[in-house]
Amino acid sequence: MATAIPSPPKVGMVSLGCPKALVDSERILTQLRSDGYDLSPDYAGADVVLVNTCGFLDSAKEESLEAIGEAMAENGRVIVTGCMGNEADTIRARFPEVLAVTGAHQYEDVVTAVHAAAPAARGAFVDLVPEAGLKLTPRHYSYLKISEGCNHRCSFCIIPSLRGDLVSRRPDAILREAEKLVAAGTRELLVISQDTSAYGVDIRHQSRPWNGPVGQGREVRAHMTDLAEALGELGVWTRLHYVYPYPHVDKVIPLMADGKITPYLDIPFQHAAPNVLKRMKRPANEAKVLQRVKSWRDICPDLTIRSTFVVGFPGETEEDFQYLLDWLEEAQLDRVGGFRFEPVEGAAANDLDGAVPEEVKEERYQRLMEKTAGISAAKLQAKVGRTLPVIIDDIGEPDEDGDIGATARSQADAPEIDGNVFLRDAGETLAVGDIVDALIEDADAHDLYGVPVS
């Protein structure tokens, strides 16, 4: 007689916040899937809804509270996790009926809460899990989290109080996860953490044997440069995010020049004026950074540098802001995101004097965006006529003439935060995740336009 398989309970997930929170959501879902749960794409079909919150900025907290409210109204059986879970009192005061509130990275607590809210049937038929776990990102790119927490104390940031000091993962565990992801179809690895350059400091850069098919038992040190080199052997694009310009960053540039890892550095500079950086208490705040950027480009001319900047930080004078604009003119960063300073509850910067009026922040923000859009447009224009490798993110439907377009990215574009390469005449043979050469035909301030070449 056939074994009756009880239908598994269904879990809904709302994931807010940064890529790091997305990785947490993937881990939680992977665990739940292996415990016999199904996923529900909507509120109505879910036995319980998980809301993975972001609590970094006050605006993000409000968004998290709204998401919890929506899940309560639509379903009513809600478990809250993520950064805002550390403020259980605020959540419970507004939504006393939530089933459980757990903080960031408390995977076991979340999973236990789900088990209590909707017990799962176990058995051989429900215990299967995809080799690389369940992913919320498209299959062809994956975030790879290498550490959690941060040893710095930037005055505007509450991440260390939410997530604690730096805790690095073992290099062998990271590399095994990367190998699995690549075996499951990942063509691009996005290395993330709060401070990628500091990777391994807490575990004294200990070496571990890398036992995968590529590593073959070789020792790999828990250090950003060694890890980058090892990841580079997996034959996929490897992109480094949240890198601070410590001296050893110089050593990854030759790996980029040799095509071993993607020539792309995401360095959150946040400002350039020494006065402001000092008040921000930023790490790796050194005057010679412009010289280093220049020497990196001498070694690897195709290096793309992305960064973010905050305008209107307390005490920022017009002179400081002008310093930033002049610095950007020199640095010629490829991709820049801007923020207007916003006080975050619990951040040391809130006690600083010299608050910048909102209209001044807005005006500086507009000037920053104008400046960086001009630099970006010129840099992209210089790529017209070149043939560049691109990764396909999406293939469109045929238009009235039967032409198919595709949305792709070059090595200069991280998914979701940078630009795109829009391809015409993509043909029917291309698939999402393919890496092909494209002739760049046109450019605007943020995106490129081209055609695949065989």
Q: How far is the CB of 195 from ligand SF4 (least distance, A)?
A: 5
Task: Give the nearer residue to ligand SF4 in terms of CB position, either 188 or 266.
Answer: 266
Judge contact between 168 and 149, C-beta under 8 A: no
Q: How far is the CB of 17 from ligand SF4 (least distance, A)?
A: 14
Task: Give the nearer residue to ligand SF4 in terms of CB position, either 142 or 196.
Answer: 196
Rounded distance, CA 384 to CA 447, Å? 11
Q: How many CA atoms lie within 13 A of 293 on its CB side?
A: 23
Place of tokens 């899940």: 71
Positions touching ligand SF4 (CB under 6 A) are 150, 152-154, 157, 159-160, 194-195, 283
Element (H, E) at 231: helix 224-232
Pairing of strands 335-340, 387-395: unpaired
Q: How far is the CB of 283 from ligand SF4 (least distance, A)?
A: 6
User: Three-state SS for 99?
Assistant: coil
Rounded distance, CA 51 to CA 135, Å? 16
| Residue 260 DSSP one-character state | S
Place of tokens 């070149």: 386
Q: How far is the CB of 244 from ligand SF4 (least distance, A)?
A: 7
Nearest Cα to 452, choosing from 432, 419, 422, 416?
Answer: 422
Q: How far is the CB of 326 from ligand SF4 (least distance, A)?
A: 24
Q: Check the annotation: does 54 bind a ligand.
A: yes
Q: Check the annotation: does 83 bind a ligand.
A: yes
Q: How far is the CB of 338 from ligand SF4 (least distance, A)?
A: 16
Q: How far is the CB of 146 from ligand SF4 (least distance, A)?
A: 14
Rounded distance, CA 250 to CA 243, Å? 11
Q: Check the annotation: does 300 bind a ligand.
A: no
Both tokens of residue 285?
């705040």
| Residue 204 neighbours by CB distance under 10 Å | 9
Task: Give the nearer residue to ligand SF4 in terms of CB position, either 50 or 347.
Answer: 347
Rounded distance, CA 292 to CA 139, Å? 35
Both tokens of residue 87?
């403020």
Task: Give the nearer residue to ligand SF4 in terms of CB position, either 163 or 335.
Answer: 163
Rounded distance, CA 55 to CA 450, Å? 40
Task: Give the nearer residue to ligand SF4 in terms of CB position, either 117 or 159.
Answer: 159
Task: Give the nearer residue to ligand SF4 in terms of CB position, either 150 or 228.
Answer: 150
Nearest Cα to 368, choosing from 269, 244, 266?
Answer: 269
Task: Give the nearer residue to ligand SF4 in terms of CB position, either 157 or 380.
Answer: 157
Task: Give the nearer residue to ligand SF4 in terms of CB position, either 59 or 295.
Answer: 59
| Residue 365 DSSP one-character state | H
Q: How far is the CB of 306 from ligand SF4 (least distance, A)?
A: 15
Rounded distance, CA 65 to CA 7, Å? 32
Both tokens of residue 299?
């070694």
User: Three-state SS for 278?
Assistant: helix
Binding residues are 18, 54, 83, 150, 154, 157
Binding residues for [4Fe-4S] cluster are 18, 54, 83, 150, 154, 157
